[in-house]
Amino acid sequence: MSDATPTAQHLAEHDGQLPDPSAEAQRQRLLVALRQGPVTTLQARRLHDVLHPAARVQELRERGNRIITCWVTDNTSEGRPHRVAKYVLTTEASPHLIPRLDR
């Protein structure tokens, strides 16, 4: 992992734009990350700017995505171990079947 802060990484990768803080944008960032592989709570916060990953995962589940939760130990940026969720996307919802949940 890079020594740059998540904000600095994002700015470098997205033409200086800060990430959209809306719940919808956070759900989309998390879903994109989950398509690439498992994501822990700390990774979602640190790398994808998803501040409340459990809520976003629940909302993705409500939209028909099958996401399982495993419990793992992950280290914070300060090096402290914590028991956190690791989310794994097993089945993605079909876009035409996703209920609209504006929050």
In a domain, 98, yes or no: no
Q: What global pTM score does this model have?
A: 0.75
In a domain, 10, yes or no: yes
Read off the pLDDT of residues 59-78 as tens digits, 9 standing for 90 and up.
999 999 999 999 999 999 89
Domain interval for residue 35: 6-93
In a domain, 24, yes or no: yes
Query: What are the strands, taking DSSP E only, across the chain?
Result: 39-40, 66-75, 81-91
Please tell me the total count of domains within the chain: 1
Read off the pLDDT of residues 30-55 as tens digits, 9 standing for 90 and up.
999 999 999 999 999 999 999 999 99
- CATH number reported for the structural domain that contains residue 65 in this entry: 1.10.10
pLDDT for residue 103 is more than 50? no
In a domain, 101, yes or no: no
